Structure 1
Amino acid sequence: MNLPKVVTDLIKSQNEFDAVTYASLFSETAVVFDEGKTHTGRPEIEQWIDHSNKNYQSKMEPLEYTENGTASILTAECSGTFPGSPIVLKFHFEIVDGQIQQLKVTD
Structure 2
Amino acid sequence: MTSLNLPEPIATFFAAEHDPDALATCFTAQAVLKDDGHSYAGIDAIQAFMAEASARYNATSVPFASHREDDLQLVRANVTGNFPGSPIVLSYRFRLEGDLIASLEITA
The runs of at least 4 consecutive aligned structure 1 residues that moved more than 2 Å come to none
Distance 1:50 1:102 in 2: 18
**Counterpart secondary structure, 1:2:** coil
Deviation at 1:96, TM superposition (A): 1.2
1:96 and 2:97 matched: yes
Aligned partner letter, 1:46? Q
TM-score, scaled relative to structure 2: 0.93
Query: How far apart in 1 are the matches of 2:77 and 2:60?
Result: 9
Shift of 1:2: 1.1
Q: Quote how far apart the aligned CAs of 1:68 are.
A: 3.4
- Tell whether the 8 Å contact from 1:70 to 1:96 is kept in structure 2 after alignment: no
**Structural RMSD (CA):** 0.9
Structure 2: give runs of 5+ residues left out of the alignment.
Answer: none
Deviation, structure 1 residue 90: 0.2
Q: Which runs of 5+ in 1 are unaligned?
A: none
- Residue 69 of structure 1: CA displacement? 5.0
**Paired residues, what number?**
105
